[in-house]
Amino acid sequence: MPDADSPTQAAATATPHYPSFVDSAPKSGEGKCNGIQFNVYSFPFLGIEFATGVNSLLADKLIAAQRNLYNLCLSQKGVTSVSEEEFGLWCWYGQVPVGSTAANLKQVQHHIGMRGGGYHSSGSAVDINVGACPFIAGRTNKVTYGETHDTFPDDVVAQLAGLSPTELQQYRDSRKKVPDGQTKPKLPGDLKQRIWNAEVGFWRKNVWDPAVQIYDRAMQLMYNQDADVSDAATSSTRFNKTSDNPPVYVHYDRFVRVSLSLTYYFGLVYQRQSGGHQTLDYETFAGGFQALVDGGAFNPNAKDLDGQPLNVTIATNRDGVCRRYYDQIQADHEMIKRVFVKGHLQVDANQNVTVPAFRDPCDGFLNIRPEVVTELVCEQHLRWGCCLFGAGPDANGDVMHFDLGGDFGIFPFDASKVPATLNRQPGT
């Protein structure tokens, strides 16, 4: 506590004084959603500005989180104050794009609060480190899921869903732009469901299943386990943290294992260099891979890509094993770009999927430090898109996203339940 002379005094002090970069949240605009007019606030959060702000209810929780994180930062450093830059760096060291380079703090993308879609339109959601936290695939009870993309050519929808010419016409009509005031013809419910099932099946086969299998291959090397990327939305442990110091959110822990395993797995073939990546040649890769196995860098019980004990097969069939990994890692690096996509996957008339832009798979998918997620979820009870949205398409997997669980924290929305504290100055 910066201002306290003794623990007794700290307890008696109503509000410790925090520097303005920790708890000032100026109003930056106004918004309207579900007929509710509200103020929007933008402020420095984790040393980064907002691109677009959030409502007072979320801002209040973010300020509360930031106060706690500031105190944790001071106690970890054993100091009584830090500058705004020092605090920002403490929040981001070790995470892409900062790594260990202070100058890279500027490269963390500004937080996105208000935007269309989800609970963002009421300022009740925030996306953090958008550039390095994609919408990943998940798996619960052996069923995979992830983000869907509404980018199918009409003919492909017809092929996938087996539409008759009449049904295809109905589908087209339902998607036409109509002049203001006119309503579009709606698809019959069963047809709509058939099309949705077909599209979900496509993404499952072409993106989510392959992605989760890649997680498993990476996890096998490091942990001799499949990836646990399952849902925790209704779990009794959904706000639990470990009792370690500092505490870590238990579900962060299992996702970050997968993310770090991917980083390590791709790093076997792709080496970072200034301005990009170098792909190792086969001999260099194989020499390095064998040295890692021999040096005990992988799990001692790790299985190779054919399910045989790696430490045995590397001794008896070095070239066969290494060649398989060399090819598989490169194929996986290409495939997993589909969940590291920036914007939307595209589908062409031949059902080929293309990735217009993507985050680097070598960076993993979880680049927010554990203390931050632990504070936001376990203390502030924000809902984390990674695993608290529920299993299913367009639910879990949104690693960058934290929200209040409904517009203004109300689900299902009911205007009469909007808290009286809406528009109160955050942090007061």
User: Which residue ranges make up the site for Zn ion (CB under 5 A)?
Assistant: 125, 127, 401
Smallest distance from Zn ion to CB 340, Å: 17
Smallest distance from Zn ion to CB 251, Å: 18
Residue 89: closest CA among 48, 44, 133? 48
Smallest distance from Zn ion to CB 389, Å: 10
CB-nearer residue toward Zn ion: 127 or 371? 127
Enumerate residues 6+ apart whose C-beta is below 8 A from 102.
85, 89
Between CA 262 and CA 267 the distance in angstroms is 8
8 Å CB contact between 214 and 144: no
Between CA 92 and CA 142 the distance in angstroms is 34
H or E, element range at 201 = helix 189-203
8 Å CB contact between 200 and 157: no
8 Å CB contact between 259 and 133: no
Between CA 141 and CA 259 the distance in angstroms is 20
Enumerate residues 6+ apart whose C-beta is below 8 A from 197.
161
Smallest distance from Zn ion to CB 235, Å: 21
Smallest distance from Zn ion to CB 383, Å: 11
Smallest distance from Zn ion to CB 125, Å: 5
CB-nearer residue toward Zn ion: 127 or 147? 127
8 Å CB contact between 376 and 402: yes
CB-nearer residue toward Zn ion: 347 or 387? 387
Burial class (CB in 10 A: 0-12, 13-18, 19+), 333: buried
Between CA 190 and CA 291 the distance in angstroms is 57
Give the residue at shortest CB distance from Zn ion.
401
CB-nearer residue toward Zn ion: 255 or 270? 255
Smallest distance from Zn ion to CB 135, Å: 9
Between CA 217 and CA 251 the distance in angstroms is 20
* Amino acid found at 339: V
CB-nearer residue toward Zn ion: 44 or 385? 385
Smallest distance from Zn ion to CB 402, Å: 8
CB-nearer residue toward Zn ion: 42 or 170? 42
CB-nearer residue toward Zn ion: 251 or 401? 401
CB-nearer residue toward Zn ion: 293 or 341? 341
Angle at 373 between CA 369 and CA 378, to 5 degrees: 145
